[in-house]
Amino acid sequence: MTTPLSVRALPGLLCLAFLALGACGQKETPPPDAATITALRPADPRLAEIYAASCLACHTMADSGAPLTGVVEQWQPRLNKGMPVLLKNVVEGVNGMPAGGQCFACTPEDYTALILFMSQPPR
């Protein structure tokens, strides 16, 4: 006697249903609001000064097209390209971002620290 396809597929379908329901319980952290984004600063005073002078104007303004500080979803596609690509884009400029991000005294380490700060959720 053969088992109908729907009965044979039942265990697999139940497994998929449980996996889908399990994902329902996981909530993404909502992006920070505009006031929070504007108030964020690196903990290091030197980096905070650089951020205020070179990054804040674009990375806190939704209309700028720059990924917003603390909004992980906007940074993830860029981070997926790898830090070498991000550093190259900062140094050379990309899209509307000027070369060096308007920080002409920044080192690659400064850029890396600022990218990591801006791409993380607020603490």
pTM: 0.74
Rounded-to-integer distance, Cα 41 and Cα 32, Å: 14
Dihedral angle of Cα 92, 93, 95, 97, to the nearest 10 degrees: 180
pLDDT score, position 27: 56
Tens-digit pLDDT profile for the chain (123 aa)? 554 544 454 444 344 444 444 444 445 667 788 888 889 999 999 999 999 999 999 999 999 999 999 999 999 999 999 999 999 999 999 998 999 999 989 999 999 999 999 999 998
- Exposed, middle or buried: residue 107 (CB in 10 Å: 0-12, 13-18, 19+)? exposed
Residue type, position 40, single letter: L
